[in-house]
Amino acid sequence: MFGLVKKTKTPADVCKSLHTALNNTDGIKPPPANGKDAAHYLAQAKAFVVSSEQEEVQPETVLELAAAMAREGLAPLLIRKLPLLSFEGRKDIGVVLGRVLRVEKQAQSFKVTRTLAANGSELIGKLISGYDTDDTSVSLNCGVVLREFATIPMLVPLLVNHEDLFKFFEYVQHEGFETSADAFASFSAALTSDKPIVCKMLLDKYDSFFSSYRQLLESENYVTRRQSLKLLGQILMEKANQDVMMKYIVSPSNLVLIMTLLRDSSKSIQYEAFQVFKIFVANPSKPPQIIDMLIQNKEKLILYLSNFQNDRYASSHIVDERMGLERASPGIDGELLGGAAGRIRNSRRRR
C-alpha cells in the first residue's frame, strides 16, 4: 500500500510515532482514511521484524523493537485499535505482534508479553469479540493474534479460563465459512495449548462445556460435525486429559451419540467417530449401563464393523486397530472389534 518502506528511523522513533498515530485514530472516519498514519508507521515497524531480499532481520533487532513497544505500551493499544485500521494495517498488527511474541519466547525476554498479560482479560475479550463483526478482515486478524496468545505460557491461562471462551461454540457455527473456520482454528488452539491448564478447565466446567460441545457434534453442518468430532478425539486421547476422558466414556448418552455418528453418511465422520468409539470399548472399567448397551447392540455393531470402510481403510490401520483392541480388551471388546477384524481378514483372503 505504501510501497517499499525504508528503515530511516530507529525502533524507538517508529514506536513513538505509531503510539501518537493510534491515539489519533478514532471510529468516526471509515478505513482506510481513518488510521492512515497508524498504518504507515505499522508498515515501518513490520520492516524491523520481517526479513527482505536485501536484509535478514536479526533477533536483536526484533527485541529492540519489543523493548520500544513495551515502553510505549503499544501492544495493548494495537489490539484495541485493530478494528479501526485499514485491511493492511490489521494484517500488519498480526505480523508484528506474532513475530515479537515468538522472538521474546525464544529469548526468554517478555517485555511485550508482560504488557499484554497485565491487560489480558480485556484484550482477549476484544480479540474474541472480533468474531462478532461481519468484517472478515477484523475477525481473521483477531484470530491470528489469539492463536499467537495460545502459544505463550504467560497468556495461555488467561485465554483458556476467559469468560468469553464459550462464545466460540457460537462462532464456529457462523454462517460465513471463513469466519467459522478461523474461529474453530482459534478454539482448537486454545483447547490444545497448555495441557494441565486445559484439563483443569475441562474438569471444572465439564457439564457446561460438553453440553455445548454436544451441539457441535449434532450440528447439521458437515464441516462443524467433522472438525468437532476430530478435536474431541484429540482431547480424549491426550494423556493429560485422562480424568476428562474417564468422565466422558462412562456416559451412556455420549456412547449413543458416538454410535449415531458411526452411521453418518460421511466416511470421514464415521472414521473420526470410530476413533472415539474404540475408547469406550477399550475401557477396562466400563459401568454396567455401557456394558448393557454394547451387549444389546453387539450383533449390529459386529455386522457394521465387519463392513466398516472396507474400500478405504480395511486393508491397513483400521484392521490393525481392531486387532490391537481385541488383544488389549478381551471379552465383549474383542467380540465387537476383534471379531469384526477377523471377518474382514477372511473376506480379504477370499478376494
In whole angstroms, give the CA distance from residue 1 to residue 39: 9
- Three-class SS string for 323-334? HHHHHHCCCHHH
Q: What is the dihedral of CA 75, 73, 153, 102, to 10 degrees?
A: 50
Q: Residue for cell digits 533477533?
A: 59
End-to-end CA distance of the chain: 63
Q: Which of 264, 185, 252 is nearest to 226 (CA)?
A: 264
Cell of 207: 457439564
Q: What is the dihedral of CA 3, 29, 78, 127, to 10 degrees?
A: -120
Residue type, 84: L
What is the number of other CB atoms lying within 10 angstroms of the CB of residue 330? 12
Residue 80: pLDDT band by 50, 70, 90 thresholds?
A: very high
Q: Which of 164, 237, 239, 249 is nearest to 206 (CA)?
A: 249
Q: Provide the pLDDT for residue 340.
A: 43
Q: What is the DSSP string of 98-161?
A: HHHHHHHHHHT--HHHHHHHHTHHHHHHHHHHGGGSS-HHHHHHHHHHHHHHTT-TTTHHHHHT
Q: pLDDT per residue over 239-255, tens digit each?
A: 999 999 999 999 999 99
Q: pLDDT per residue over 50-76, tens digit each?
A: 987 778 889 999 999 999 999 999 999
CB-CB contact of 155 with 116 (8 Å): yes
Q: Provide the pLDDT for residue 54.
A: 74
- DSSP class of 220: S
Q: Provide the pLDDT for residue 56.
A: 86
**In this predicted structure, which of 159-163, 276-280, 325-329 has the lowest mean pLDDT?**
325-329
Contacts (Cβ under 8 Å, ≥6 apart) of 73: 19, 115
Q: Which of 31, 30, 22 is nearest to 78 (CA)?
A: 22
Average pLDDT of the segment spanning 272-291:
92
3-class SS of residue 72? helix
Q: Provide the pLDDT for residue 93.
A: 97
Query: Nearest 5°: CA angle at 246, between 245 and 247?
Result: 90
Query: How much is the pTM?
Result: 0.86
In whole angstroms, give the CA distance from residue 100 to residue 334: 53
Cell of 219: 450440528
In whole angstroms, give the CA distance from residue 28 to residue 153: 37
Q: Provide the pLDDT for residue 142.
A: 97
Average pLDDT, the chain: 87
